[in-house]
Structure 1
Amino acid sequence: MVMDPMLICKKSRRLRGKLTHICNKEPALLKEITKGLQIGTRECQYQFRNRRWNCTTVRRSLKKILLRDTRETSFMNAIAAAGVTYAITRACTMGGLVQCSCEKMIANGNHIGKIAHRSGNRRTNIPTEGEWEWGGCGDNINYGFKKSREFMDAPYRKRSDIKTLVKLHNSDAGRLAVKNFMRTICKCHGLSGSCTVRTCWRKMPAFREVGNRLKESFDGAAKVIPGNDGHSYITEGLTIKPPERFDLIYSEDSPDFCKPNRKTGSLGTVGRQCNSTSPGVDGCEILCCGRGYDTRIVKEKINCQCRFKWCCEVSCNTCIVRKSVNSCR
């Protein structure tokens, strides 16, 4: 599904319920789902751009990664679900879907705030002083969350093997990385710019924030094993805290991704650019797996000696700079 969301719909004859309805009756929603998966893929590539596994979209590699149940798979499933939730919610706000619209809240601010607190939703930065009311065009996160779950989780709901349980958990963690961190945005109203009354609405966080949060969860992901009942999982180590809903989990150890391996989907790191001065994961020692690296000098054209001309132009010369590029052996 992450590789090709339409593949599920091609098998819709064997599907039932809401998933079949989405495939056959909601083409605009399918378009947003595809956009969401693209958003998630781009964010995955940004977060892992300097690591041995760089979230490649090479099909033969991606397929093998998704068939396993490693940390990398957990992140991909989470960021994909988050991207779909984000895209659908944004489409509702922008009027791109006839099935939904902005989030509607008809009540005074204090009442809604109390409801949010009791229900456990994290509505941060809710005003506590002065008069204010819900209004504006809030992001309809509940609709995005619901549709993401209906489409992405439906094919797996009746299964209880460890891989399915882990997949469903991580997908929900991705959605919660969007939903649990909605921001409250307010606009002031009043004479002469005063703020006697404020109108407030909820807005999704920037998707980069979602990616950063899930990357932190990836770094602290917990390994799990099947429970004795065959329908649940437990952490592998007795001293490890049970994962919460927004934590990422996995059940298989990751390969080192140093060398090409068809079985695991690893493409290796030969030819990857590295930083010879960095001690981190993008450094040549770690990224090249101790094999060493080659350095070459490349020429690059840049704009230089720019001048402002009245009015209103900027003219620049073209300069050639030389820089060294390190590549893993």
Structure 2
Amino acid sequence: MQVQGIVTCLYFVLMFPADIIGLWWAVGSPLVMDSNSICKKTKRLAGRQRTICKREPEIVAEVAKGAKLALLECKFQFRNRRWNCSTARRSINRILRRNIRESAFVYASTAAGVVYTVTQACSLGTLPKCTCDHNARDVSTDGEWEWGGCGDNVDYGYRKSREFMDARKRKRRGDFTTKIQLHNNEAGRTGVKNFMRRECKCHGLSGSCTLKTCWKKMPPFREVGNRLKERFDGAIRVIISNDGKNIIPEGLTIKPPSRHDLVYSDPSPDFCKKNKKVGSLGTRGRECEPDSMGVGGCDLLCCNRGYSRTSVTMKENCKCRFLWCCEVICETCVSTKILNKCL
């Protein structure tokens, strides 16, 4: 199978033993590689990754798609934050080398994205080793509907995400950073798997619903992103237990993190000023909302440095009308937009 669409993200998985660091930041790079190039240096991969690379190139393609999906969602969720999920290489590499809230979200959303794209590909019939999920049909119904259709096989997507994303880390599972990253990977996967919904279709003459069949379907990925963003806001700071086997809350009064919670151990920088050491690009030049008191407002986003106002003239087609046959005539409308940017 041709695996175009796999980008430099996987190149850096091969070239750098920093695991998913390269997988994430290079997703948007214009360089496209085929499966043969990706798998050329399999000795640098963990055992299970090497096996998938050699035997299931179609899964590798979905891993890349999942990382890209997660990148887009990350940018959406943090579009108005001081850290806006920038994929600038020097920034994201620094972010992912530290156990902060932001890296927790990146790891979790990437693992969730891989679950999502692999499961989706399975339902579309593009993965030869995966079929629809029929396990739900063993669950009793209320008699008003019955199981049918092609259910999303999220168990398969979950398993492949776990095999590929956790493979290298599991060799060093005693390491504190490894424990944090594996935990956040799992939190991302459960954000998809544990929120499957039932979708139904009616059958019958003249639109009647004499028979209704239902199947299990994944939630929209935007819902997954929203849920992970809530967990980011409520992330739990952890330390290693005395026996070195578990991660535990830093404070005695804080509840232990569940499988769904995001965890971190280091405080985040404020991201107000550019700081290469911590991966902060600063907020200078970012657009803001002067009338907003929340995130995205000029006071918070600009870190109380103030902002500039610039008037921009824009021209666009308007009042278009169709002339028979076959021409569209438009007028040119001029509008003015005010841009507010952080100083």
TM over 0.5: yes
Which piece of structure 1 moves more, 173-182 or 194-203? 194-203
2:225 corresponds to:
211
1:9 touches 1:20 (CA, 8 Å); kept in 2? no
Could you tell me which amino acid in structure 1 is paired with residue 169 of structure 2?
A: Y
Structure 2 unaligned blocks of 5 or more: 1-6, 16-40
2:22 corresponds to:
none
- Equivalent-residue separation in structure 2 for 1:15 and 1:41 (angstroms): 23
1:44 corresponds to:
74
User: SS in structure 2 opposite 1:274?
Assistant: coil
Give runs of ≥4 in structure 1 deviating > 6 Å: 310-314
How many residues are matched?
311
1:222 corresponds to:
236
Residue 305 of structure 1, CA deviation: 2.7
User: SS in structure 2 opposite 1:157?
Assistant: helix
Residue 301 of structure 1, CA deviation: 2.0
2:276 corresponds to:
262
2:14 touches 2:44 (CA, 8 Å); kept in 1? no
User: SS in structure 2 opposite 1:181?
Assistant: coil
Could you tell me which amino acid in structure 1 is paired with residue 160 of structure 2?
A: K
Give the one of 117, 121, 126 matched to 1:91: 121
- Equivalent-residue separation in structure 2 for 1:200 and 1:134 (angstroms): 5
Q: RMSD of aligned C-alpha atoms?
A: 2.1
Residue 276 of structure 1, CA deviation: 0.8
Q: Deviations over 1:76-107 (max 9, x none)?
A: 00110011110111111112211212213484
User: TM-score, structure 1 length as denominator?
Assistant: 0.89
1:75 touches 1:170 (CA, 8 Å); kept in 2? yes
Residue 275 of structure 1, CA deviation: 0.8
Give the one of 129, 134, 139 matched to 1:112: 139
- Equivalent-residue separation in structure 2 for 1:87 and 1:314 (angstroms): 40
1:272 corresponds to:
286
Residue 54 of structure 1, CA deviation: 0.3
Are 1:142 and 2:170 an aligned pair? no
2:46 touches 2:168 (CA, 8 Å); kept in 1? no
- Equivalent-residue separation in structure 2 for 1:66 and 1:196 (angstroms): 54
Distance 1:50 1:150, change over 3 A: same
Distance 1:6 1:290, change over 3 A: same
Could you tell me which amino acid in structure 2 is paired with residue 33 of structure 1?
A: V
User: TM-score, structure 2 length as denominator?
Assistant: 0.85
2:9 corresponds to:
4
Once the two structures are superposed, the pairs formed by residues 300-315 of structure 1 within 5 Å of their partners are 300-307=314-321, 315=329
- Equivalent-residue separation in structure 1 for 2:46 and 2:177 (angstroms): 22
1:105 touches 1:134 (CA, 8 Å); kept in 2? no
Could you tell me which amino acid in structure 1 is paired with residue 121 of structure 2?
A: A
